[in-house]
């Protein structure tokens, strides 16, 4: 009887949490990821995320050293804007014109050779760090990176991860309430979710699914923008060869190298018609 009581004590909170998650996802936040059509949990209004995004982006830029190499800066912006326009066209083709209008694309290059990373916030605010440029090498390699990161944005992976993080750390507290009552903790969550901070255990396992989706969608975006999706394979091979013992930030939550490359190779045939069309 004592063991049965203990099991009930342990089981009941878990059951209640499961029921709460199901109820919340049913009534509040079910969204669909483009192409994969996977349902995802969205508890945070996009308007709130974008407001926070624009504020945090300004703070990141204010605290960072922006590159003064105009050739590199213009290359990042050229590729980024082409990917951004391709993303808007992609969403329009899916009947998501309202979502497409939400993005205010902005691409900046941050001078930090030790950071091998890039990210895109809600609303299209993006940063590339100079540390990733030796891996990208040219516009095509950069298109792989920015296609992948913009794919995260239009798939609204950040909302899903932010929803998970809020549930895990603050229960059912709304983002606006969390910002008012726990601003520092909420800011840290936001930075972690969007790849600007150290990733934490609870989010890591699920984010690998996001990475796989972003790889697939990202190939479609770069192909639509006129970049050959086949260059994604040598790009990832370079990334893996140059960091054999320690994964850079951009790889921290990504699938195993062999798995990623195999997946990308299987997606290329899906992306090639968009690339060939862009050449006409």
Query: Per the structure block, which two tokens stand in for 81?
Result: 């804007």
What is the per-residue pLDDT for 162? 76
Helix (H, G, I), strand (E, B) or coil at 116: coil
Q: Is residue 29 part of a domain?
A: no
- pLDDT on residue 173: 60
**Residue 200 structural domain:** 44-278
Q: Which residues have CB under 8 Å from 37's CB, separation 6+?
A: none
Q: Could you tell me if residue 224 is inside a domain?
A: yes
27 found inside a domain: no
Q: What are phi and psi of 101, to 5 degrees?
A: -75, -10
Q: Is residue 39 part of a domain?
A: no
280 residues of the chain, pLDDT tens digit each: 444 444 444 434 443 444 444 444 433 456 788 888 888 777 777 788 888 889 889 999 999 999 999 999 999 999 999 999 999 999 999 999 999 999 999 999 999 999 888 999 889 999 999 999 999 999 999 999 999 999 999 998 888 887 777 776 666 566 666 656 776 776 777 777 666 654 433 334 447 788 899 999 999 999 999 999 999 999 999 988 865 554 554 555 556 778 889 999 999 999 999 999 999 8
Tokens of 251: 């790889």
Rounded distance, CA 178 to CA 246, Å? 35
Q: What three-state secondary structure class fits 174? A: coil
pTM: 0.78
Domain count, the chain: 1
Q: What is the pLDDT of residue 276?
A: 96
At 110, give phi and psi (nearest 5°): -95, 130
Asked if residue 6 is part of any domain, the answer here is no
Give the pLDDT confidence score for residue 45 in this predicted structure: 78
> How far, in Å, CA of 170 to CA of 153, rounded?
24
The residues, ordered by sequence, that sit 6+ positions from 203 with a Cβ below 8 Å of its Cβ are: 161, 164, 165, 192, 193, 253
The answer to the question of residue 236 being in a domain is: yes
Is residue 32 one of the residues assigned to a domain? no
Q: What is the DSSP string of 214-260?
A: HHHHHHHHHHHTT--GGGHHHHHHHHHHH-SSS--GGGTTSPPHHHH
Structure tokens that stand for 255 in this block? 């699938």
Residue 206 lies in a domain: yes
């Amino acid at each position: 009887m004592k063991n049965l009581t203990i099991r009930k004590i342990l089981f009941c909170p878990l059951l209640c949490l499961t029921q709460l998650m199901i109820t919340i996802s049913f009534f509040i936040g079910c969204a669909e990821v483009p192409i994969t059509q996977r349902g995802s949990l969205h508890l945070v209004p996009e308007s709130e995320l974008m407001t926070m995004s624009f504020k945090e982006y300004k703070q990141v830029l204010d605290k960072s050293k922006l590159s003064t190499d105009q050739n590199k800066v213009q290359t990042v912006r050229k590729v980024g804007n082409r990917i951004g326009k391709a993303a808007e066209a992609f969403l329009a083709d899916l009947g998501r014109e309202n979502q497409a209008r939400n993005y205010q694309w902005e691409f900046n290059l941050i001078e930090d050779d030790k950071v091998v990373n890039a990210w895109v916030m809600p609303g299209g605010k993006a940063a590339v760090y100079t540390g990733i440029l030796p891996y990208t090498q040219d516009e095509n390699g950069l298109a792989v990176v920015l296609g992948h990161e913009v794919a995260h944005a239009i798939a609204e992976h950040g909302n899903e991860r932010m929803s998970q993080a809020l549930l895990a750390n603050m229960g059912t507290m709304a983002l606006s309430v969390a910002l008012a009552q726990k601003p520092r903790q909420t800011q840290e969550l936001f930075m972690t979710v969007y790849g600007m901070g150290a990733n934490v255990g609870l989010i890591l396992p699920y984010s690998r699914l996001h990475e796989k989706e972003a790889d697939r969608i990202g190939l479609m975006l770069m192909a639509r923008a006129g970049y050959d999706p086949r260059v994604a394979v040598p790009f990832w091979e370079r990334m893996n060869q140059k960091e054999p013992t320690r994964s850079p930030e951009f790889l921290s939550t990504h699938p195993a190298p062999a798995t990623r490359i195999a997946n990308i190779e299987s997606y290329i045939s899906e992306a090639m018609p968009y690339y060939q069309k862009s050449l006409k």
